[in-house]
Amino acid sequence: MIDLLTTKVEPQNSNFFRTTQWVYLIGLFGHSFAGLAFWISGINELALFNGVISVPAFSVAFMVNRQGRHVLAFAFAFFELFFHQVLAVYYLGWETGAQYWFIYLAGLSFFNPFWNYKVQISLLLLTMAGFIGSYIFNYEGIYHLPPRAVSFSFYSNSVTAVMLSAFLINSYSRAAQRAEERLKGVIGELSEKNEEIATQQDNILQSINYAKTIQTAVIPDSRELARHFNEYFVLFEPASIVSGDFYWFSETKENIVVVCADCTGHGVPGGFMSMLGISFLNELVNNQKITAPAQILNELRAKVKNALQNNHQEDQPQDGMDMSICVFDKQKSTLTFAGANNGIFLLRNEDITEYKPNKNPIGSYPKEMPFEQILIDLKPKDRVYLYTDGYIDQFGGNDDKKFMKRQLKEKLIASHQLSLEQQGQQLESIFKTWRGKQEQIDDCTLIGLLV
């Protein structure tokens, strides 16, 4: 058996290759016999064309096709057939039925999957032009064959052209059927995968919602602040279901400890870090009775590093948290502040003061230094604000820029005559208006306390 396949044919082209190779072989032998028949009949021009053009063209098509150059091979065969039929009608006339091969060529122009739509339409128009031109200019033919030869030629050409056209239609139909079956299979597989993904997504969402329930349970109820402060607000806007931001407070005999923190990342990773931070704060403040904010930060950093066990590496993102801690002594009317990358604002009438933090996170850091604290004397109606960077880093506005710390200060001063509850509502509205249709980039927490 002839070796139709070679290693140079891509697997996805194997069916097209097999079909065209058999066609090229049949064309090679068919034109050889046709050339011999024309020579015997004395039609030397067609005999010469078959010998010099047709047989070599199909031979080249067969060999080139084996090299994987299917477009070139198909072009050799197609144009040989086109010019062959033009000459056949020219020399033998319309009555021999050679023009029916143009119908086959019209279907063949769409058979090659490697030709784009424009090429296929162009070849179809060329074939139609050949058919019409042959009728107009070459109806009679140059050679006048005997009636029996004309009848034989007509029936052989017409039947062969019809059979080949039927073969093309069958090929198109089978290809469409195979494509439909493959499509149904792919759709079935996609449906199964989509069901699996939907089930997994539901399970993940349930787990995340359960994590949110746990996180909500361990974060203190903000209404507890009403027992210690004349007015307050807590603006808490997670970017995802679970938040990487958290706030925490605790009451001791002499002090009220208020914490605002931003953990690495947001969503589930940040949520796990927040749970770790809350757990350690409970241990340090409520169990060990540590109320000095700098000491809390130092001890908390040691616990976080020990829990995560990650020494600093240049190419590795560090897990941890930024945090501001305010310890209020209500009898002395003082505030002791310490911050790990998170500062606070103190608003007194229309004057706002920013107390900056140590530039160290709670976690591993190459230039680690002890945290320091600041003692602040408070006056009645002072307002203290703790915040994370989610508010000031949010993109939005007309120019799609960050909100920035400067603008937050301006908004706090402009609304200082409002109650803290009203101010919190206004700041929430400002944040949402600024964000607009933009995605919230990070968790956002802003706490306001009236002394």
Is the CB of residue 263 less than 8 Å from the CB of residue 451? Answer: no
Q: What's the pLDDT at 208? A: 84
Is the CB of residue 73 less than 8 Å from the CB of residue 20? Answer: yes
Q: 142-156, 221-235, 284-298, 367-381: which range is least confident on average?
A: 142-156
Pick the closest to residue 24 from 60, 51, 66, 58 (CA basis). Answer: 58
DSSP 58-105: HHHHHHHHHTT-HHHHHHHHHHHHHHHHHHHHHHH-GGG-GGGHHHHH
User: Could you tell me the two tokens for 221?
Assistant: 């109820």
Which of 111-125, 211-225, 420-434: highest mean pLDDT? 420-434
Percent of the chain with pLDDT over 90: 40
Q: What's the pLDDT at 12? A: 66
CA atoms of 236 and 243, how far apart (whole Å) = 9
Specify the higher pLDDT residue, 135 or 76: 76
Residue 315: is its pLDDT beyond 70? no
Q: What's the pLDDT at 353? A: 97
Query: Treating both helix axes as pointing N-terminal to C-terminal, what angle do 14-41 and 70-92 enclose, rounded to 10 degrees?
Result: 30
CA atoms of 66 and 176, how far apart (whole Å) = 26
Q: What is the mean pLDDT of residues 219-229?
A: 89
Q: What is the mean pLDDT of residues 65-78?
A: 84
Q: What's the pLDDT at 312? A: 47
Please tell me the pTM assigned to this model. Answer: 0.63
List beta partners, residue 119: none
Q: What is the mean pLDDT of residues 329-346?
A: 96
10 Å Cβ neighbour count for 16?
Answer: 20
Percent of the chain with pLDDT over 70: 94
240-278 pLDDT tens trace: 888 899 999 999 888 999 999 999 866 788 888 899 999
Which of 76-90, 136-150, 196-210, 286-300: highest mean pLDDT? 286-300
40-55 pLDDT tens trace: 888 888 889 888 898 9
392-423 pLDDT tens trace: 999 999 889 999 999 999 999 999 999 999 99
Write 375-381 long-range contacts (CB < 8 A, 24+). 375/334, 375/335, 375/336, 376/334, 376/335, 376/336, 376/337, 376/346, 377/333, 377/334, 378/328, 378/333, 378/334, 378/335, 378/451, 379/333, 379/348, 379/451, 380/451, 381/348, 381/349, 381/450, 381/451
Q: 12-21, 97-106, 343-352: which range is least confident on average?
A: 12-21
165-176 pLDDT tens trace: 777 677 767 767
Residue 105 CA neighbour count, 13 Å, CB half: 26
Pick the closest to residue 108 from 181, 55, 190, 167 (CA basis). Answer: 167
User: Could you tell me the two tokens for 437?
Assistant: 């249709």
Which band of pLDDT confidence, cut at 50, 70 and 90, is reported for residue 378? Answer: very high
Pick the closest to residue 246 from 222, 226, 224 (CA basis). Answer: 222
Specify the higher pLDDT residue, 311 or 103: 103
Helices (H), 145-264: 147-218
Q: 17-21, 82-86, 362-366: which range is least confident on average?
A: 17-21
Domain ranges of the chain: 12-186, 219-309+317-450
Fold (CATH) for 219-309+317-450 = Phosphatase 2c; domain 1 (3.60.40)
Residues whose CB is less than 8 angstroms from the CB of residue 328 and which lie 6 or more positions away in sequence, other chains included = 228, 255, 256, 257, 258, 334, 335, 378, 451
Residue 226: is its pLDDT beyond 70? yes
User: Could you tell me the two tokens for 186?
Assistant: 């792919």
CA atoms of 318 and 308, how far apart (whole Å) = 10
Q: What's the pLDDT at 2? A: 46
* Burial category of 408 from C-beta neighbours within 10 Å (exposed 0-12, middle 13-18, buried 19 and up): buried
Which of 78-82, 93-97, 227-231, 313-317: highest mean pLDDT? 227-231
Which band of pLDDT confidence, cut at 50, 70 and 90, is reported for residue 1? Answer: very low
Compute the C-alpha angle 374/378/380, nearest 5°. 165
E strand residue ranges, 264-400 = 320-329, 334-340, 344-348, 351-355, 362-363, 374-377, 383-387, 395-396
